[in-house]
Amino acid sequence: MPQPSRRRPGPRQPNAGERPGVISAITKCWETEALRRVTNDAMDVAGGAGICKGARNVLAPIHEGVPIGITVEGANILTRSLIVFGQGAIRCHPWALREIQTAQADDVAGLDAALAGHATFALRNAARAFLLGLTGGAIAGVPASGRAGAALRELAQLSAAFATITDAAMLTMGGKLKRAEAFAGRMAVLPQAGQSVVQVVFAQPSPLGLLAHA
């Protein structure tokens, strides 16, 4: 299903003169994968009517077009491996891009400040991940209660661990991170799972609604 959090800001940014490369890559990747799943499910429901070509078969053209959307303008496996996590980690990080810019500009003072900020940020993330892991996320502040709150606290715990792993990967792998395609591809799909949890929680705030998606 199309994700509102991506559909709303994505089309507006080019109109404002921005070039949202990472957001557009994520949108293209996840929406075409969603189309593949929906089309496959529709073919299962249609059965033979989805296989026999003809004017009344509305699924066959869509089924044939799905691989085009997945492979054209950057194959999804390439998008996941190089763009979603590789570029996303740099652009979403509060210090990584600044470190690159100051290093390219030979700004020693700015680079020192960025490195110090990065170290502080990484240590704070590690401490938060440790405390949330130790308490099972119980100390995380979440805007819900009951089963929804429990799901969001667990998500906060996993998010802190994800941020810590990302900082550790950037520290140990450096520029090789974008070329570590297997690792980057696995890291790229984790935020999507977390986003799905949030959308389910707030779309179905009742315990019964949440259990229906478990």
Cβ atoms of 81 and 74 closer than 8 Å: no
Whether 73 is catalytic is yes
**HSE toward the beta carbon, residue 12, CA cutoff 13 A:** 6
SS3 (DSSP) at 192: helix
Residue 198's closest CA among 154, 139, 164, 146? 154
Write down the residue that tokens 């979603």 correspond to.
84
Q: What is the rounded distance in angstroms from the CA atom of residue 32 to the CA atom of residue 2?
A: 10
CA dihedral of 40, 46, 49, 54, whole degrees rounded to 10: -60
Place of tokens 């900082």: 167
Contact, 122 vs 89, CB < 8 A? Answer: no
Spatial neighbors of 16 by CB under 8 A, at least 6 apart, are: none
Q: Pick the catalytic residue: 33, 73, 99, 154?
A: 73
Structure tokens at 155: 């998500």
Going by C-alpha positions, the residue among 186, 194, 199, 152 that lies closest to residue 2 is 199
Query: Catalytic positions, please?
Result: 73
